[in-house]
Amino acid sequence: MEGGGRPSASQAVLLAASTAITALLYSVYRQKARVARGLEGARRVRLDGDLRAVLLEAPGRCVPYAVIEGVVRSVKETLSSQFVESCKGVVQRLTLQEHKMVWNRTTHLWNDYEKIIHQRTNTTPFELVPAEGGAGVTVRVMKPLEAAELSLETVYEKFHPSVQSFTDVIGHYISGERPKGIQETEQMLTVGTALTGVGELVLDNATIKLQPPKQGMPYYLSTLDFEALLQKQESSVRFWKILTVVSGFATCAVLFFLLRRQYRHHRERQHLRQMQEEFRQAQERLNAEGGEILKNACVVCLSSTKSCVFLECGHVCSCHECYQALPVPKKCPICRQGITRVVPLYNS
């Protein structure tokens, strides 16, 4: 706390950072809660013969946010895995990821570092069909790569370790980077996978389409069933809520600490002002009493009280001891008139 009672720069920065973190966490929590509420309120429709009739009755032949479950089937040709025989899919993602160790000059430790050096995603048109089959109703899935959650199965994964000579090892220690190898991964959305789609369901001419919603809600293509997907989102909401509450308590604690310091400083200043006022009053009282004492003091010694009346001049200006010490002929110290008689002064 600075001299003026205001928080120091570090305390102000701490309070501002804590408040900003709490606000950010609360914003994320609100977003997650909105998504969970939207997902909970999504309309569940069945992939059966009544689906077309449901869309015909809906405004604009569209259900803005719907949940539908089905099995993946390719519309035209399928994608074949490059590494696994007879593995067919509609979405294929090939990834090359570099793994290496990097020397941290601050902690003096080797840390793992991963970097995607190449990634390619192939898609082919696909649709959802009933799991039991036979209904003859299909839903075309549009823009699958825009899904917030696109469940892909890892069908192939292999790590290729780097081969290093002794000279390479020395060079890596000098440069602070030690390559470990390249990891090759293939992920696919295979034909026949049970998929839960959440998005906008629309009847376009004779085709039923599932596409990203226009209301800002997330688009899901998940292998989880709807209950598990909803529970996952609610768990995420609880996690961010706990983080927000903890951060809020930390912010309140910092604010309480600063207010308590400021209150104590205010009390100290108030006590100091009170002491200064009491000292001023005591000084004024002392000056007043001292003036009265000086007014009644002997003009000769300035310490004893006046106790003699000089006649014939009538001045009261001396104590009895100083009167006796006056040289002969005795004269009044005030008017220098001769003293013929002294009358004692009695204060009642």
Q: Which two tokens stand for residue 174?
A: 């000098």
User: Worst-scoring range by mean pLDDT, 4-13, 181-190, 319-328?
Assistant: 4-13
Q: How confident is the model at residue 241 (pLDDT cuts 50, 70, 90)?
A: very high
Q: Is the pLDDT of residue 343 over 60?
A: yes
pLDDT tens column, 53-103: 889 898 989 999 999 999 999 998 899 999 988 899 999 999 999 999 888
What's the confidence (pLDDT) of residue 187?
95
pLDDT over 90 for what percent of the chain?
44
Q: In this predicted structure, which of 121-125, 165-169, 269-273 has the lowest mean pLDDT?
A: 165-169
Structure tokens at 306: 């006046």
- Supply the pLDDT for residue 294: 65
Per-residue pLDDT tens digits for 274-305: 878 876 776 676 566 555 556 777 888 777 78
| Residues 145-200 pLDDT 10s | 999 888 899 999 999 998 888 887 788 788 888 889 999 999 999 999 999 999 99
Residue 318's pLDDT band, with cuts at 50, 70 and 90, is confident
Mean pLDDT rounded to a whole number for the chain: 87
The pLDDT score that the predictor gives to residue 219 is 93
Residue 267, pLDDT > 70, answer: yes
Q: pLDDT category, 107, cuts 50, 70, 90? A: confident
pLDDT at 304: 79
| pLDDT confidence tier of residue 316, bands split at 50, 70 and 90 | confident
Q: What is the pLDDT of residue 15?
A: 86
| Cα 131 → chain centroid | 46
Three-state secondary structure readout of the chain: CCCCCCCCHHHHHHHHHHHHHHHHHHHHHHHHHHHHHHHHCCEECCCCCCHHHHHHHCHHHEEEEEEEEEEEEECCCCEECCCCCCCEEEEEEEEEEEEEEEEECCCCEEEEEEEEEEEEEEECCEEEECCCCCCCCCEEECCHHHCCEECCEEEEEEEEECCCCHHHHHHHHHHCEEEEEEEEEEEEEECCCEEEEEEEEEEECCEEEEECCCCCCCCEEECCCHHHHHHHHHHHHHHHHHHHHHHHHHHHHHHHHHHHHHHHHHHHHHHHHHHHHHHHHHHHHHHHHHHHHHHCECCCCCCCECCEEEECCCCCCECHHHHHHCCCCCECCCCCCECCEEEECCCC
Q: Is the pTM of this model over 0.85?
A: no
The pLDDT of residue 312 is 83
